Structure 1
Amino acid sequence: MQRTVVTINSNGRQSSSFIRVAAALGWQVRAQMRDLNGIVAQELSELENVTVYIGRLEDKKFIDDLFKSAHCAFINTTHWGDEVAIGRSLADAAKRAGIQHYIYSSMPDHSVFGHGLRALRMWSPKFTVENYIRQIGLQATFVYCGIYHNNFTSLDFPLFRMELQHDGSFVWQAPFHPDMALPWLDSEHDIGPAIFQLFKEGPRKWNGKRVPLAFESMSPKEVCRAFSNGLQRPVRYKRGPIVINVPTPAGYREHLSALAYTLGEKGAPYFGPDLEPEVPSTSLELWEGNRSMEEYAQEVFPVEEAANGLTWMQEGEIFNPCNGVLHLAEQLNQARL
């Protein structure tokens, strides 16, 4: 049966990954965007089976039109605007429209696990929205995405900077214990197929469930080993504070401070204690064609670096310092960290 599916913030990494898969398989996609600026927005708008809806999520009439007569929805709210209010409004609209399966991209609120853990400012609103969706009785599934491979950059970006050294090697500095298991996935390559499989299997199997989306569980040392194998150059992990050298959006410093304490100093499980044992088995049951960290480092990382104007991957180019992050706000909007 051909289905109509709603997505929001559709030029983001999660939604765009799903849209490409769903549209290719014949589903009708209603893709909300704020505008058509950018390469991804233009690409998606030109895909067969995709109808772009330009509008603001604060507009209740707009979101009623977005959901009208649709069958299902993949919803990833962001921290731009009042995320909780928007998340509740979207859930209400989906309920009114009779959406049969609502997949919401959530994240944990670590403060509920006790032990003095701090909530992460850009994660905990999603948990609040998740609880509201449960309260109103939507048939819903809640996906928790791991750390994106695509977060890594040699630009001066907080937390996931692969800093290029004078000898051509890289150093990644972060507050995590070197042997702490962390969940990873390639957002552009693997989120779409996994979400599509959840829709195929439907709410009979997945209603009310939390699903950790991560295809590898790797420590920082293992990540650097995979990068080293992929790039064929030394990559070293260094445990240390998060370095912020550039202006950041409101709330992001507080988020990183809580992350450094909760995940770094306290070593709390990324998804929380209940979901951690399911990584990566649950995701691999949904989609076995995932891109590994080593494959990402070898095949994609140099391409993304070149797109950012960097030239270290060219033969004979050893050190090309860059002191700023291009479009930092947009990159933060895409990141899951």
Structure 2
Amino acid sequence: MTGKIISVFGSTGLQGGAVVNALLKDGTFKVRALTRNVESPSAKKLVEKGAQVATVDLNNDVESIAKVLQGSYGVYLVTDFWSLFEKEEEIGKKVVDAALKAGVQHFIYSSLANTSKISNGKIVVPEFDMKAHIEDYARQVSAKHPEFISSFVHLPYYAQGFNTDFLPITKIEEDKYFISFPISGKPMELIDVNDVGPIALAEFKDPKKYSGVGIHFTGSALSGPEIAEKLSKATGKSIIFKPMTYEEYLALGFPGVEGIADMFKFVSEYGSYPGKDSNLAKEIIHITTFDEYLEKNPIQLK
């Protein structure tokens, strides 16, 4: 193992955790797992796996965050809109500044499409657009400071989201279920979030090759009925897809429903990252298909 340290934000979450696991398994870099609570069970498990664990408060100023990143060769940043809300863009840019101040050489950010720009203002998804603005800012910083390399990953829907509050599988009667969400037009692009780990690792290992590069990847692109068919096959239960309109989804009325509805609307019309090539990721690893994900991760239905 070299002395180079990669600091990973969101290390106890699905995406950050996937990056931590890939880095630890490979062994090329030391891992500094950043979390709000170093005493949490998830943080303690990371220590058992071999990671350093450090506390970071994203509400702190640039100097304070830079101190946490001091000595890091690389940084992996994923920002969570649902915990940061309107502060996401400000905080993401602050972390970029902190990484630069700390002397970080390679910065990787998990970004999304600029929905308002792509749709000419017709569809605006803050969760997407603020991430796109953070990516733009990181690119600007790299242009001014060539020693600060920035790279990017773009993830569509997680297969891990099925049978959760986000994409529930609802029981109709014994052995009969349905799923319903407002997707139509373009298929839904799905990935196993764990695939982001080896992709980020490849970027960290070859900064020259991936400088300024955004890696987009898709395991499967499926319609609603195709998703239901694959879920049925995997679970041995009858699962049907019930189409849902944008207005019907809005009527559910849960906190944040408008943003999620607009996300579905954008992806239905434009795809997760329109005009971008997802083949580069396939040169790095085999991207897990939805069938393969379900085989490895059986869904338990009630």
Same fold (TM over 0.5): yes
Equivalent in the alignment of 1:282: 280
TM-score, structure 2 normalization: 0.87
1: distance between equivalents of 2:106 and 2:170? Answer: 42
- Please, which of 258, 262, 269 is the counterpart of residue 271 of structure 2? 269
Measured after TM superposition, the shift of residue 37 of structure 1 is 6.2
Measured after TM superposition, the shift of residue 258 of structure 1 is 1.7
Measured after TM superposition, the shift of residue 113 of structure 1 is 1.5
- Is contact 1:17-1:190 (8 Å) kept? yes
Does residue 194 of structure 2 align to residue 193 of structure 1? no
SS of aligned partner of 2:283: helix
- Is contact 1:5-1:74 (8 Å) kept? yes
Residues 115-134 of structure 1: CA distance to partner in whole angstroms, max 9, x if unpaired?
Answer: 54312121211111111111
- Is contact 1:33-1:52 (8 Å) kept? yes
RMSD: 2.2
Residues 94-121 of structure 1: CA distance to partner in whole angstroms, max 9, x if unpaired?
Answer: 1122322111001112110135431212
Does residue 107 of structure 2 align to residue 102 of structure 1? yes
Measured after TM superposition, the shift of residue 244 of structure 1 is 7.0
- Please, which of 169, 184, 187 is the counterpart of residue 190 of structure 2? 184
Q: Which has the higher helix share?
A: 2
Q: How is 1:1-337 mapped onto 2 (pairs within 5 angstroms)?
A: 2=2, 3-26=4-27, 27-36=29-38, 39-48=41-50, 50-60=51-61, 61-79=63-81, 80-81=83-84, 82-137=87-142, 138-153=148-163, 157-158=165-166, 160-177=167-184, 180-187=186-193, 189-200=194-205, 202-240=206-244, 241-242=248-249, 247-248=254-255, 252-264=256-268, 267-271=269-273, 273-275=274-276, 278-279=277-278, 281-288=279-286, 290-302=287-299, 305=300, 312=301, 320=302
1: distance between equivalents of 2:202 and 2:13? Answer: 20
CA pair 120-301 structure 1, distance change in 2 beyond 3 A: farther
Q: Which amino acid is 1:34 matched to?
A: R
Q: Which amino acid is 2:56 matched to?
A: G
Measured after TM superposition, the shift of residue 29 of structure 1 is 0.9
Measured after TM superposition, the shift of residue 185 of structure 1 is 0.8
- Is contact 2:110-2:153 (8 Å) kept? yes
SS of aligned partner of 2:196: helix
> 1 or 2 for the larger relative contact order (CA 8 Å, sep ≥6)?
1
The runs of 5 or more residues in structure 1 that have no matched partner are 306-311, 313-319, 321-337
Give the length in aligned residue pairs. Answer: 288
Measured after TM superposition, the shift of residue 20 of structure 1 is 1.1
Residues 156-188 of structure 1: CA distance to partner in whole angstroms, max 9, x if unpaired?
Answer: x24x122122031331111111x622221111x
1: distance between equivalents of 2:235 and 2:150? Answer: 40
2: distance between equivalents of 1:286 and 1:53? Answer: 30
Residues 15-67 of structure 1: CA distance to partner in whole angstroms, max 9, x if unpaired?
Answer: 1011012122222111111114654333213221x111113022234321222
Equivalent in the alignment of 1:331: none
Q: Percent identity?
A: 21
The runs of 5 or more residues in structure 2 that have no matched partner are 143-147
Measured after TM superposition, the shift of residue 11 of structure 1 is 0.7
SS of aligned partner of 2:183: coil
Measured after TM superposition, the shift of residue 8 of structure 1 is 1.0
